């Protein structure tokens, strides 16, 4: 394992690998090591780049080393009444491992939780970075202010790139005030179709729903549709009444805050889908959710919906054909990522159309011409 | 400001180029006679003008693709243009380039209220998207001041913002997908109606790329339910410092207003003289804070903001009691640019962003620069996000004053970078700030950006002369190498 502790050491490590044709796998906390195909690679640990560098709460900006643990950042922000609004989660939990996510890993894997529906994803809060590209050269992208259009928006390209373009050493994120109050309204016993309709109705109302999820009866009897409201207390109260009136026919209820926190934590980490087999994260237009899951039910699949139906966490039994998941996602205009389990050789990322794949390959080559940062992990 | 020297060989082929474009676009879609070309010579940055070689106005994606394919095969440069409202010269034409106007692709293709998206062609104006969905209580959130005219295609190119972007984000946070035509005529779809990207976030890099990577022919945007109410409070302060402290404390209290705008004394006076909305004239700084949401929320937050303002010494505090009054608070701010236009023959609008805590310091140094250059400056800011719009007043008819104003503006932007900010918060680099890029990015940084350009457009035919410094080319790309900003022959003119 390589353990650089400065940008020059990192640049040298990548430069050496480039000269020798050795492939490197970037690793922060290792919480996502279980994602991807079996591989033999040299691990490049980013642990030398940890620690908070600058945090001025009223500026709404935080800069930290990429390997700073996510939990450390979240605790620091919470102490100032702030948060990462994209609601990240820790893949260590998904794999039942002790390894904990880092800020850089969360960015590189584009990890956004339930509030992504209303507050945006990692990409929408990732302002700037320092990095060493696959060329072995240190460079920066973006900046440390919340509003910037100077040059190409390279942070967007780095978020969700799975470390295939560059090794992030320092990252700057936009942070936001933590909601002072919240409430979760639940609708019991809805079918998938009825739940997706109800969530669309809630999202189209003036209730400013922060998160909307549905756990079908197969996982939770009766089925549970949950709508989360956040903000200042008078506003949350007013909007709670709005939703209770809107969904009166469905017999709505307001969840106790303690139950609410556990519910959303479970949904964000796909906790009800902790069994054997493969776990998929499927991204589709929200109202296509039920259309994606329906053909997979006969294969023994279990699932839950987040993002008002636009995100499906789906589990297939061991040995079931993952291509059916890909086909269902494609048919709905979306895509499916294999997060956990043996996909029988399927690439973890959804294949792109030939034109987009060729363009992506050219962009990747612009940062990593020799493919050093592609450790045969993504197929 | 210089543009690349026109390629005489291309100019000599003008009639052949026009004929080829006419073969692709039937009817009136190719403009070539000199009198008709004249109105296309500038965009919103009128200090610079260049009549294009020819204007092409395709009607559909297939024609866009055919034009690009032909230009790519024939080595002809292309400048894409939406409504031409860029404030940074992003759509400034080239003497040897085709100006590709997207205004005829102006249809709203689909509205899906259940998925909360609208699919539109690039020539649809920003405001027209909201107008198309408002009957069902929805709107499109980004609202650049030019929203009545600017096109969504241009918004995508520039990653446009607006006064509400602190809460609702820029264009990039509100677009889910595009159809993009590459310079070789290939049509690709990036993103879609789902939220997250499939692989590399190419959509994210295309938005804000200023027309250098491809031509957008379709845009899928998120639409939102219109908040139940919006109310504004108008606050006057005896100093810019106290106004800035008020902004920091509002955000520190966990409040993200829908809009939070500041004006300095010269801007307040110019605006009030123009629109007469009752702005206080005895204050050094004016804040407009807008809250939106359920009325219970607005009432509560207006009180909170007013308390914070009072604690910071606000001498004026007026809460809007109806929609007409709220709009009147905004009328002066929204008319700030034309208001300054009344008191000065010409003005430059700058667009840097700074960390908000540096505001008093930056304003003080701006005042010193103003004295040194002998040019007045009025300031409006998006206070919530530290985005400054200094308006430099000058008279283009006075010899040398345009150059002085340009130099003053460049100094302001260098100052923004020096205090930890950026050259442009929402207007784009364009031609205006192109040569200042090395103030913010090293040669290696810029080379990483330029390789992205080459991955999309290897021949560098799309909108050349914008964003990147003219002489900045890394050695491996086979062009002039500039070391630490030192030109090999500094005495030679820059082309």
What pLDDT is stored for residue A342 in this prediction?
87
Distances (CA, A) of A18 to A5, A10, A132, A162, B451: 19, 12, 13, 19, 18
Structural domain harbouring B252? 229-337
- CB atoms near residue B75 (< 10 Å): 12
Distance in angstroms (rounded) separating the CA atoms of residues B374 and B367: 10
Q: Which of B421, B287, B285, B284 is nearest to B356 (CA)?
A: B421
Residue B383 lies in a domain: no
Instruction: Give the CA angle between residues B123, B126, B127 to the nearest 5°.
Output: 120
> First and final CA of chain A: distance in angstroms?
23
Residue B385 lies in a domain: no
Domain boundary among B84, B101, B118: B101
Mutate to test the interface with A, among B136, B160, B172, B196 (most CBs of A within 10 A): B196
Q: Are residues B58 and B113 in the same domain?
A: no
Residues of chain B neighbouring A149 (CB-CB closer than 8 A): 158-159, 161, 170, 208, 424-429
Residues of chain A neighbouring B420 (CB-CB closer than 8 A): 144-145
pLDDT digit string (tens) for B152-193?
999 999 999 988 999 999 999 999 999 999 999 999 999 999
Q: How many CA atoms lie within 13 A of A314 on its CB side?
A: 33
Q: Are residues B112 and B205 in the same domain?
A: yes
- A364 interface with B at CB cutoff 8 Å: yes
Q: What pTM, to 2 d.p., does this model score?
A: 0.95
Judge: A156–B385 Cβ closer than 8 Å, yes or no.
Answer: no
Considering CB atoms only, which of A112, A242, A349 is closest to B199?
Answer: A349
- The share of chain B scoring above pLDDT 70, in percent, equals 95
Decide if A365 contacts A16 (C-beta within 8 A).
no
Band (pLDDT 50/70/90 cuts) for residue B471 is: low
Nearest CA in chain A to B167: A119
pLDDT digit string (tens) for B116-160?
999 999 999 999 999 999 999 999 999 998 899 999 999 999 999
Distances (CA, A) of B44 to B3, B22, B34, B158, B215: 17, 28, 21, 13, 20
pLDDT digit string (tens) for B47-95?
899 999 999 999 999 999 999 999 999 999 999 999 999 999 999 999 9
Which of the pair, A88 or B343, is modelled with greater confidence? Answer: A88
Residues of chain B neighbouring A181 (CB-CB closer than 8 A): none
- Residue contacts between A and B (CB atoms, under 8 Å): 271
Q: Are residues B310 and B270 in the same domain?
A: yes
Q: Are residues B201 and B121 in the same domain?
A: yes
Q: Are residues B89 and B24 in the same domain?
A: yes
Number of domains chain B is built from: 5
Write the burial class of residue B489 (CB in 10 Å: 0-12 exposed, 13-18 middle, 19+ buried): exposed
Q: Are residues B79 and B142 in the same domain?
A: no
Distance in angstroms (rounded) separating the CA atoms of residues B470 and B204: 25
What pLDDT is stored for residue B366 in this prediction?
95
Q: How many CA atoms lie within 13 A of B272 on its CB side?
A: 14
Band (pLDDT 50/70/90 cuts) for residue B475 is: very low
Judge: A144–B117 Cβ closer than 8 Å, yes or no.
Answer: no
Q: Are residues B90 and B120 in the same domain?
A: no
Cis omega (within 30 of 0) on the bond before A222? yes
User: Nearest CA of chain A to the CA of B425: how many Å?
Assistant: 4
DSSP code of residue A6: S
Write the burial class of residue B171 (CB in 10 Å: 0-12 exposed, 13-18 middle, 19+ buried): buried
- To the nearest 10°, report the CA torsion of B241, B246, B251, B253: 140
The interface residues of chain B toward chain A in range 399-438, judged by CB-CB distance below 8 A, are 420-429, 433, 437
- pLDDT higher than 70, residue B299: yes
What pLDDT is stored for residue B484 in this prediction?
39
User: Nearest CA of chain A to the CA of B32: how many Å?
Assistant: 33
Q: Are residues B404 and B354 in the same domain?
A: yes
Domain boundary among B225, B260, B281: B225
Residue B490 lies in a domain: no
User: Nearest CA of chain B to the CA of A63: how many Å?
Assistant: 13
Q: Are residues B354 and B332 in the same domain?
A: no
CATH of the domain at B76: 3.30.43.10
Element (H, E) at A340: strand A335-340
The tokens for B446 are 């810029």
The pLDDT profile of chain A, 379 residues, written as one tens digit per residue, is 999 999 999 999 999 999 999 999 999 999 988 888 888 889 999 999 999 999 999 999 999 999 999 999 999 999 999 999 999 999 988 888 888 999 999 999 999 999 999 999 999 999 999 999 999 999 999 999 999 999 999 999 999 999 999 999 999 999 999 999 999 999 999 999 999 999 999 999 999 999 999 999 999 999 999 999 999 999 999 999 999 999 999 999 999 888 899 999 999 999 999 888 999 999 999 999 999 999 999 999 999 999 999 999 999 999 999 999 999 999 999 999 999 998 888 999 999 999 999 999 999 999 999 999 987 888 6
Distance in angstroms (rounded) separating the CA atoms of residues B106 and B184: 24
- pLDDT higher than 70, residue B256: yes
The interface residues of chain B toward chain A in range 130-169, judged by CB-CB distance below 8 A, are 137-138, 158-159, 161, 165-166, 169
Domain boundary among B66, B101, B136: B101
Residue B492 lies in a domain: no
Decide if B349 contacts B430 (C-beta within 8 A).
no
Residues of chain B neighbouring A141 (CB-CB closer than 8 A): 445, 448-449
What pLDDT is stored for residue A97 in this prediction?
85
- pLDDT higher than 80, residue B297: yes
Residue B431 lies in a domain: no
Which residues have C-beta within 8 Å of that of residue A281, sequence separation ≥ 6?
A311, A312, A313, A336, A337, A339
Read off the pLDDT of each residue in B351-376 and give the average, rounded to a whole number: 94
Work out whether the CA dihedral A364, A366, A367, A369 comes out positive or negative: positive
Distance in angstroms (rounded) separating the CA atoms of residues A10 and B311: 50
User: Nearest CA of chain A to the CA of B109: how many Å?
Assistant: 17
What pLDDT is stored for residue A39 in this prediction?
83
What pLDDT is stored for residue B257 in this prediction?
96
CATH of the domain at B273: 3.30.70.2190
The interface residues of chain A toward chain B in range 241-300, judged by CB-CB distance below 8 A, are 242, 283-287
Which residues have C-beta within 8 Å of that of residue A198, sequence separation ≥ 6?
A187, A190, A225, A247, A250
Residue B73 lies in a domain: yes
Q: Are residues B91 and B116 in the same domain?
A: no
Residues of chain B neighbouring A110 (CB-CB closer than 8 A): 196-197, 201
> First and final CA of chain B: distance in angstroms?
10
CATH of the domain at B210: 3.30.465.10
Q: Are residues B478 and B399 in the same domain?
A: no
Judge: A156–B423 Cβ closer than 8 Å, yes or no.
Answer: no
What pLDDT is stored for residue B141 in this prediction?
96
Residues of chain B neighbouring A365 (CB-CB closer than 8 A): 455
Decide if B302 contacts B296 (C-beta within 8 A).
no
The tokens for B34 are 């000199």
Q: Are residues B195 and B209 in the same domain?
A: yes
């Amino acid at each position: 394992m390589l353990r650089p502790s400065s940008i020059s050491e990192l640049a040298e490590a990548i430069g050496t690998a480039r000269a020798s044709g050795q492939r490197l796998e970037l690793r922060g906390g290792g919480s996502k090591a279980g994602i991807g195909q079996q591989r033999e690679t040299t691990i490049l640990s980013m642990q030398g780049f940890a620690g908070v560098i600058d945090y001025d709460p009223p500026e709404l900006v935080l800069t930290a080393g990429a390997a700073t643990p996510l939990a450390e950042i979240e605790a620091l922000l919470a102490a100032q009444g702030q948060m990462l609004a994209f609601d990240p989660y820790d893949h260590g939990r998904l794999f039942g491992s002790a390894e904990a996510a880092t800020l850089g890993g969360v960015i590189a894997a584009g990890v956004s939780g339930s509030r992504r529906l209303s507050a945006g994803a990692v990409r929408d809060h990732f302002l700037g970075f320092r990095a060493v590209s696959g060329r072995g050269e240190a460079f920066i992208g973006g900046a440390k202010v919340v509003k910037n259009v100077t040059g190409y928006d390279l942070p967007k390209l780095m978020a969700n790139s799975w470390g295939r373009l560059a090794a992030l050493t320092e990252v700057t994120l936009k942070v936001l005030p933590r909601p002072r109050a919240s409430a979760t309204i639940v609708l019991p016993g809805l079918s998938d179709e009825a739940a997706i309709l109800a969530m669309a109705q809630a999202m189209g109302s003036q209730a400013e729903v922060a998160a909307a999820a549905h756990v079908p009866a197969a996982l939770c009897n009766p089925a549970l549709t949950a709508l989360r409201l956040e903000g200042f207390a008078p506003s949350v109260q007013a909007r709670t009444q709005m939703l209770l009136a809107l969904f009166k026919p469905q017999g709505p209820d307001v969840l106790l805050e303690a139950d609410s926190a556990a519910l959303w934590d479970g949904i964000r980490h796909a906790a009800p889908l902790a069994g054997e087999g493969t776990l998929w994260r499927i991204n589709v237009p929200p109202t296509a959710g039920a259309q994606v899951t329906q053909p997979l039910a006969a294969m023994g699949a279990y699932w839950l919906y987040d993002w008002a139906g636009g995100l499906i966490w789906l589990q297939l039994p061991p040995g079931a054909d993952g291509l059916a998941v890909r086909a269902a996602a494609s048919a709905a205009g979306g895509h499916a990522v294999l997060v956990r389990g043996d996909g029988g050789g399927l690439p973890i990322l959804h294949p792109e159309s030939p034109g987009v794949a060729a363009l992506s390959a050219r962009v990747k080559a612009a940062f990593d011409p020799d493919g050093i940062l592609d450790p045969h992990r993504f197929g | 400001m210089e543009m690349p020297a026109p390629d005489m060989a291309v100019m000599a082929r003008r009639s052949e180029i026009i004929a080829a474009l006419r073969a692709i676009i039937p009817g009136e879609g190719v403009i070539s006679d000199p009198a008709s070309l004249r109105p296309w010579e500038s965009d919103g940055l009128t200090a610079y003008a260049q009549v294009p070689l020819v204007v092409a106005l395709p009607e559909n994606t297939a024609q866009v693709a055919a034009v690009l394919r032909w230009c790519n095969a024939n080595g002809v440069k292309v400048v894409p243009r939406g409504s031409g409202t860029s404030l940074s010269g992003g759509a400034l034409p080239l003497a040897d380039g085709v100006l590709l106007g997207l205004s005829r692709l102006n249809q709203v293709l689909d509205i899906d209220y259940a998925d909360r998206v609208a699919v539109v062609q690039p020539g649809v104006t920003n405001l027209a998207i909201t107008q198309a969905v408002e009957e069902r209580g929805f709107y499109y959130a980004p609202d650049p001041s030019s929203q009545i005219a600017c096109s969504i295609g241009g918004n995508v190119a520039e990653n446009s913002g607006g006064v509400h972007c602190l809460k609702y984000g820029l264009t990039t946070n509100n677009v889910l997908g595009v159809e993009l035509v590459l310079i070789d005529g290939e049509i690709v779809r990036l993103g879609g109606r789902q939220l997250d990207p499939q692989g590399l976030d190419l959509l994210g890099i295309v938005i804000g790329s200023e027309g250098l990577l491809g031509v957008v022919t379709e845009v899928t945007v998120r639409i939102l339910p219109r908040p139940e109410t919006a109310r504004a409070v108008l606050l006057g302060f005896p100093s810019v410092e106290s106004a800035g402290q008020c902004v920091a404390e509002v955000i520190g209290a966990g409040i993200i207003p829908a809009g939070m705008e500041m004006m300095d004394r010269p801007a307040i006076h110019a605006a009030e003289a123009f629109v007469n909305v009752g702005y206080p004239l005895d204050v050094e700084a004016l804040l407009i804070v807008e809250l939106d949401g359920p009325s219970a929320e607005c009432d509560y937050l207006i009180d909170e903001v007013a308390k914070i303002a009072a604690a910071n010494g606000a001498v004026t505090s007026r809460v809007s009691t109806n929609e007409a009054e709220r709009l009147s608070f905004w009328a002066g701010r929204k008319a700030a640019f034309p208001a300054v236009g009344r008191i000065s023959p010409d003005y430059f609008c700058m667009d840097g962003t700074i960390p908000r805590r540096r505001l008093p310091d930056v304003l003080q140094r701006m005042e010193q620069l103003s004295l040194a250059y002998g040019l007045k400056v009025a300031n409006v800011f998006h206070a919530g996000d530290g985005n400054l719009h200094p308006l430099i007043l000058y008279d283009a008819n006075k010899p040398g004053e345009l150059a002085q104003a340009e130099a003053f503006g460049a100094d302001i932007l260098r100052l923004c970078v020096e205090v930890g900010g950026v050259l442009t918060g929402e207007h784009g680099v364009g031609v205006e700030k192109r040569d200042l890029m090395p103030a913010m990015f090293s040669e290696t940084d810029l080379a990483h950006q330029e390789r992205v350009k080459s991955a999309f457009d290897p021949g560098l035919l799309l909108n050349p002369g914008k964003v990147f410094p003219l002489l900045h080319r890394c050695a491996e790309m086979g062009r002039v190498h500039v070391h630490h900003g030192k030109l090999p022959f500094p005495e030679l003119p820059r082309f």
